Structure 1
Amino acid sequence: MPFRHPMTQLSHASLILLMIAALAGCTSVQYYSQAISGQAALMWSAQPVAAVLNDPEPPPELKAKLATATTALAFASDRLALPVGDAYSDYVAFERPFVVVNLMAVPEFSLTPHQWCYPIVGCQSYRGYFDPDDARDEQAEFDQRQFDTFIGGVTAYSTLGWFDDPLHSGFTRLPDDRMVALIFHELSHRVVYMNGDTAFNESFATAVELEGLRLWLEQMSQPERFQQALTRLQQRNQTLALVADASVRLEAIYQRQQEISPEQLRAEKARQMSQLREDYLALSADWELPGPFGRQPPAFNNAHLALFRQYNQHVPAFRQLLRELNYHFDDFYRAVEALSELTEEQRSKQLATLAQRFDEHL
């Protein structure tokens, strides 16, 4: 099969960059330039999955991964009603452990993350970089402003359908079930994406990932393997409860900024962060699988808490909504789209009501 040059996609990227240049300053243009050049480098390095499968040189382990991914993509289209198109039809190999890194920045005495706003995709509470050094440069600027920051590696990301995202070695290094779940997660971002609400977007994608994986494993006659995913989910939920409790205490402290000195605020904050770390270590001591923050978590700050809350807080609500719609994914996506069009207050109320009805064992 001949190599498929992504000239159309690159011309779209160039057009976006020209739009940005007209709207933004030099720093923004520099940021978007690295993003577009990084995406272009991935696409130029790609080769069709079918060609890799027909090539005698790649190792059998890689071919098995790509064959599994191909089957999962058909399942995503047919059973999960996800808009697959030509996504993940190409493959890219790279040596680095992550495809991009994300920077998150939160004010010293707040749990509301800084938001970066972009043409087309809107606002997000993180900023992605292909080069970790670029992320560290911007991190240093926030550190000088007394922000709490965190840089984390990202195994995969979605371009929301603007480009045909490739499969890459970040996917194929994962166990099969986690690779398939990640494919479902990233494809779901093509369905509904809400400007400025990372918690909504990521919780929705995580719900599709979980329920999609459960159905996939049932089709593969391996339903027992979903138990490991449920174990990871239970650990995530237990950790989320700790983070939520700590967040309540921290927000009460931060509301006293007009009453006590910055030094006192920092001391109270440090005590709460230290207590959260101790609680997490006690909670996870007997877990067979590493928890969401690993075996030895870092010294927590506001950025760690804000990021974790955003990726997990609405997952039970979306899973309950899908359950009530009898796992008809087309209906589910329409319902999620309707939720995204509500006011923030209405949306939060409906999600909270759905979450209250959710029971994992029903």
Structure 2
Amino acid sequence: MEKRSFLILFPFAAVIVMLLTSCTEIPYMVHCVKGHLQLLSKRQPVEKVLKDPDCSPQLKKQLEVSQRIRDFASNELFLPENGSYRSYADLERPYAVWNIVAAPEFSLIPVQWCFPFAGCVSYRGYYSIEKADHYARKLKGQGKDVYLYGVAAYSTLNWFDDPLLNTFSNDPTPDLAALIFHELSHQLLYVKGDSAFNEAFAKTVEREGVLRWLEKYATEEEKTLHWHRLRREEDFMALIGQTRQELVGLYAADLSDEAKRQRKKELLETLRHRYGELKRSWGDYPGYDRWFEKDLNNARFVSIDTYRRYVPAFETLLRQSGGDLRKFYALSRSIAELPQKDRHLHMEALLETTEEGRSLAAAP
């Protein structure tokens, strides 16, 4: 799977407050506080790192590029201008956090976790793979479908200045730009308790921002490579959407659990077969192979749906704004201020105006 395609960079809104509403959550909250403070303690200003004689040429080059991207984010995309991504931290591990997504065996409605300030989200993050794996096993023991994955970065929603991390600082330039644009978008607009709205908004800004960055700085070859990448991503999303709708239909059917379980297995095997055909049409491009290496289950579909469902709706809103990002942000904010039920009705109506959206909107 391509590293930036679906959110291996999915953000985890760090809960770093000591407002504890449940005794059973105290150990988890303490873990989050300690993990985030340890991350912050490793920050160094980018300028200081660049002057360090021990800074490798590759890291120096990436940090210099990151600062041009950071300037572009505020100057050209009108994203917040602050200290985020003006510092660097080496965590000495491959991911910033590990996220868990879960869903019932016969449902694509995700399990929700609720926290002070961040609201309810459809993922739960850990700074330790061991702790994440322990909790994932607990959920599996309850009969839930579970997806555990590493996350390269997250946003603290402007509570702190988020640093550049070793977990993504060596990414190709379009990927690095996408991450910075995505996370800064969360600082610009975030609706408490609405992951689907928040992630799709950030994904839309990310995609538009990368296109504008490439248009200004990339070669024609780099633009062509990015276009092919977007096409593969859309092909993959269509493939996943097809199976998702089939699963929704199955779960709504009047069948025994055993019959549903068998049919679910068949549908997921069919998905693997369809992917093989799609991969051959790409000339055996292997970028999404990793997505299929782990067990396929409902949580895998939930994780994609959370981040992508409303992207076509936001892209429609951007077109209605004439490509003017300031107008787009204002329209998005006006929708964000609606009660959640009305907000989702508005987004579903926007989805109906696009072919991709009509396909997504057909599945709850």
TM over 0.5: yes
Tell me if structure 2 keeps the 8 A contact 1:320–1:357. no
- In the TM superposition, residue 294 of structure 1 has moved relative to its aligned partner by 3.2
Q: Deviations over 1:182-241 (max 9, x none)?
A: 111111111111233322222211111111111112222535423333323222222222
- In the TM superposition, residue 115 of structure 1 has moved relative to its aligned partner by 0.5
Give the secondary structure class of the aligned counterpart of 2:105: coil
Give the secondary structure class of the aligned counterpart of 1:239: helix
- In the TM superposition, residue 356 of structure 1 has moved relative to its aligned partner by 4.6
Tell me if structure 1 keeps the 8 A contact 2:104–2:144. yes
Q: Which residue of 2 aligns with 1:314?
A: 310
Q: 1:71 to 1:225 in 2, by over 3 A?
A: same
Q: Gapped runs of 5+ residues in structure 2?
A: 1-13, 358-364
Match 1:329 to one of 322, 325, 328:
325
Q: 1:194 to 1:134 in 2, by over 3 A?
A: same
Q: Which residue of 1 aligns with 2:96?
A: 99
Tell me if structure 2 keeps the 8 A contact 1:103–1:150. yes
Give the secondary structure class of the aligned counterpart of 1:91: strand
- In the TM superposition, residue 165 of structure 1 has moved relative to its aligned partner by 0.5
Count of residues paired in the alignment: 340
- In the TM superposition, residue 250 of structure 1 has moved relative to its aligned partner by 1.4
Q: Does 1:204 align with 2:201?
A: yes
Q: 1:239 to 1:59 in 2, by over 3 A?
A: same
Q: 1:37 to 1:273 in 2, by over 3 A?
A: same
Q: Which residue of 2 aligns with 1:69?
A: 66
Q: Does 1:42 align with 2:25?
A: no
Q: Which has the higher contact order (CA 8 A, sep 6+)?
A: 2
Equivalent residue letter for 1:55: D
Q: Which residue of 1 aligns with 2:10?
A: none
Q: Which residue of 1 aligns with 2:154?
A: 157
Partners in 2 of 1:76 and 1:168 — Cα distance? 18
Partners in 2 of 1:357 and 1:109 — Cα distance? 25
Equivalent residue letter for 1:261: S
Give the secondary structure class of the aligned counterpart of 2:99: strand
Partners in 1 of 2:85 and 2:149 — Cα distance? 23
1:1-362 matches, within 5 Å, as 16-17=17-18, 19-20=19-20, 23-25=21-23, 27-222=24-219, 224-256=221-253, 259-287=254-282, 289-292=285-288, 294=290, 296-342=292-338, 343-356=342-355
Partners in 2 of 1:226 and 1:203 — Cα distance? 23
- In the TM superposition, residue 152 of structure 1 has moved relative to its aligned partner by 0.7
- In the TM superposition, residue 344 of structure 1 has moved relative to its aligned partner by 4.1
Equivalent residue letter for 1:333: Y
Partners in 1 of 2:194 and 2:287 — Cα distance? 25
- In the TM superposition, residue 56 of structure 1 has moved relative to its aligned partner by 1.9
TM-score between the two structures when normalised by the length of structure 1: 0.88
Q: 1:200 to 1:13 in 2, by over 3 A?
A: closer
Tell me if structure 2 keeps the 8 A contact 1:213–1:226. no
Tell me if structure 1 keeps the 8 A contact 2:98–2:148. yes
Give the secondary structure class of the aligned counterpart of 2:114: strand
- In the TM superposition, residue 34 of structure 1 has moved relative to its aligned partner by 1.1
Partners in 2 of 1:354 and 1:172 — Cα distance? 38
Q: 1:232 to 1:310 in 2, by over 3 A?
A: farther
Partners in 2 of 1:211 and 1:115 — Cα distance? 29
- In the TM superposition, residue 86 of structure 1 has moved relative to its aligned partner by 0.6
Tell me if structure 2 keeps the 8 A contact 1:80–1:212. yes
Q: Deviations over 1:71-116 (max 9, x none)?
A: 1111111110101311011101133211111001100010111010
Tell me if structure 1 keeps the 8 A contact 2:39–2:91. no
Give the secondary structure class of the aligned counterpart of 1:189: helix
Q: 1:296 to 1:138 in 2, by over 3 A?
A: closer
